[in-house]
Amino acid sequence: MNILLANDDGIDAYGLHVLADALAQMNDVENIYIIAPNTQRSCGGHGLTLNGKIDLEPINPMEFNEKVNWAYSCSGVPADCTRIGIFMLKQAGVSLDLVCTGINHGSNWGSDIFYSGTLAAAREASVCFTQAIAFSLCDNHPTHFEHFAKLVPEVVKKAYKKLPYTTVLNVNVPDIPAEEIKGMRVCKQGPMDYGLGYKKSLSNASGVSFEFDGGEVYRDNVDPDWDCVVGREGYITLVACDLMPVSKESMQAIENLGIKYNE
């Protein structure tokens, strides 16, 4: 397999090195290619750089491991990293098999995926007709990366070519010791509520400034199958993030609106 790696925590993030090393253990993995932001790009959502240039700086691949063919830091956003990486490999005649993103320093449960650069980088692979898997360790200052040495090869071997390219597999691991992991669950994506917390940091004649001051709001009316609930109980969660979700109920609801034009 030829695998492209990207993330949103930056080229120097420890989780990216752990992911590359976990994949390098696999006999089926021949070449690993890495493009990651040159700085922290967390919570930037899914965007692309369409105006202005994107700079790539080569990184010594041996800073990772012997299976890393090349590595670059990128001035663009996480989705840029994936898209440019796929482009470069195609130009070089390399058949890319899989994109893996992470290991993110922090959770990507529920509605986190709309903000997450880790998921944006994985989703961009789907846009480019390539299967992708996103890995996250659920603490902003994570310590228990040891889980991934076995988990990453297991997930990749089981998922490769078994899921459509339109489905990103979102894997979240609690940042707790191995003996406290209760198991693995396939879950629904559950909403995360961070409230509307902002604090005013500056106010003068020229305007006003705010800083985000929110924190997660815990609600009583939660679904026990939401990933954000199951994950906090100590389970590794697997969630399907579909590129083009289709709801028959929503389509029918729009039909029932009876909106007409020029009739």
The pLDDT score that the predictor gives to residue 82 is: 97
Which 8-state DSSP code applies to residue 110? T
The pLDDT score that the predictor gives to residue 218 is: 54
pTM beyond 0.75: the answer is: yes
Give, for 126, the enclosing helix (H) or strand (E).
helix 117-127
The pLDDT score that the predictor gives to residue 260 is: 77
Q: Of 80, 87, 65, whose CA–CA distance to 16 is shortest? A: 65
The pLDDT score that the predictor gives to residue 245 is: 78
192-225 pLDDT per residue, tens: 766 667 787 777 777 888 887 766 655 555 788 8
> Which regions of the chain are under pLDDT 70?
193-196, 214-221, 263
The pLDDT score that the predictor gives to residue 219 is: 56
Both structure tokens of 173: 């691991």
